[in-house]
Amino acid sequence: MNTERDDASHALPARAIGVAALLLAASDALQTRLGAVVVQGELSSFTRAASGHCYFNLKDSDGASAVLRCAMFRRAAQLLDFAPRDGQQVEVRGRIGIYEPRGELQCIVEAMLPQGAGSLYELFLRQKARLEAAGLFDAARKRALPPHPRAIGVVSSTAGAALHDVLTTLARRAPHVPVVVYPSAVQGADAPAQLVQALQQAAQRAEVQTLIVCRGGGSIEDLWAFNDEAVVRAIVACPLPVVCGVGHETDVTLADLAADVRAPTPTAAAELAAPRRDDELRRVSERGRALVAAGQRHLLRHAQRLDVAAARLASPAQRLAEQRLRNDHLAQRLVLAMRQVLHARTQSLAVQAERLAPVARAAWRLRDQALQQLQLRLAALDPQRTLQRGYAWVTDEHGAVITQAAALQRGQRVNAVWADGEASAEVLAVRPGKLTG
């Protein structure tokens, strides 16, 4: 047996080739055998590098474990007329080869066409529409993060790199803020229930003011726990403001949409949750300097006012003397002003009296003439004058004037008044006559 091994080992060098040569030969054989291929599958782990090249995996949507790694260089990627995303069904055309640095089979994609969404992505869209209709993603209910939390909680896997990134970022930005970790699986069948339990535990303990839910990047299957409805509702029901940083910038989960704040990465979630201590100290220092400067300006302004007031302030005796002089001067001015006003009023009254005298005399003359006319009219109406002309005034027994013969009756006693006396008489006969006009 040993001899045969030795013979085989001596025979290997004659047939041995380098690894790179072998991979190159295998790649040439695949290209010669297959040529250009068209492959249909579901996109997974799609990324676009800063150089413009795209890297992704293709897999069957029926859940088979087969995965084909693909690369699409910038020249071909620039011709895409849609935005590829994980879970999307596509048809790619390219060449099958071997990536020598890792010895992996890969497809160099020259063209890509969308063929529809994969099963998981379709489920994601349906669930998103249903939860959105239920109001779980409404912006109006989302809360602002506290600017200076006393403690920060992190819901994540203790074995993942995301937790390390978050803790490192928080230690660098805000080392004075304690961090409480609520461990939970972030991938697999048990992850949704553990995530819900961790969120509820953080809410019950109420020992933090901000809660970060995070995990690293991955395919749509890796992140599927964060699309679970129970997890989404637990985030919405959590009384603590929640920052969700799941995956990379291009990854969007339903937990991101339900959280109060979405961060593109776990590191960004830590940056949003806690302000940088150095920035806060600098702001406090700047405000302190501004406050000191404002206080100094205030003191200087009041010191200047005090100096001016002190310069104006004299001894009480001097102030009283000055005030007496002012009072005397004001009294003299008041007497002079009163004399001037009195003289002006006297002159005004004299002028008015001169103007009033002719008017009064004219008014008296008019009144005297009117009175004389009234006296003449009154005298003309005096009954005594009428009696002097030979007329008599006849009244009945009660003194009522009798102006018509028809008012008399035979045998009636009457009185007749003349200018020089009166007499009583009895009516013997009444003879009515005609009145002359």
State the Cα–Cα distance between residues 257 and 132, nearest whole angstrom. 9
**pLDDT tens track for 205-256:** 999 999 999 998 877 778 889 999 999 999 999 999 999 999 888 788 999 9
CA distances from 361 to 327, 347, 350, 355, 367 (A): 50, 22, 17, 11, 10
Residue type, 73: F
State the Cα–Cα distance between residues 338 and 356, nearest whole angstrom. 26
Q: How far is CA 107 from the centre of its chain?
A: 54
Q: Name residue 213's beta-bridge partners.
A: 155, 244
Q: Name residue 97's beta-bridge partners.
A: 106
**pLDDT tens track for 168-177:** 999 998 898 9
**pLDDT tens track for 153-204:** 999 999 888 999 999 999 998 898 999 999 999 988 889 999 999 999 999 9
* N-to-C CA span, the chain: 190
Q: Which of 238, 246, 240, 239 is nearest to 263 (CA)?
A: 246
The two three-digit tokens of residue 49, written as one number: 């590098």
pLDDT at 421 over 90: no
Q: Which of 101, 97, 32 is nearest to 69 (CA)?
A: 97
Question: What is the fold, at CATH topology level, of the domain defined by 149-275?
Answer: Rossmann fold (3.40.50)
Name the strand (E) or helix (H) holding 196: helix 191-205
Residue type, 201: Q
Say which CATH architecture domain 17-117 belongs to.
Beta Barrel (2.40)
**pLDDT tens track for 278-309:** 666 677 777 887 888 888 888 888 888 887 77
**pLDDT tens track for 53-78:** 999 999 987 667 788 999 999 999 99
Taking the C-alpha atoms of 170, 172, 178 and 179 in order, what is their torsion angle to the nearest 10 degrees? 30
Cβ proximity of 431 and 405 under 8 Å = yes
- The pLDDT value given to residue 15: 73
Q: Which three-class secondary structure state does DSSP give residue 222?
A: coil
- The pLDDT value given to residue 19: 84
pLDDT at 9 over 50: no
pLDDT at 5 over 60: no
- Quickly count: other Cβ atoms within 10 Å of residue 300's Cβ: 10
Pairing of strands 104-117, 88-99: antiparallel
Q: Which of 154, 220, 165 is nearest to 187 (CA)?
A: 220
pLDDT band at 47 (very low <50, low <70, confident <90, very high): very high
- The pLDDT value given to residue 281: 64
**Largest alpha-carbon pair distance within the chain?**
206
Average model confidence (pLDDT) across the chain:
85
Length in residues, the chain: 437
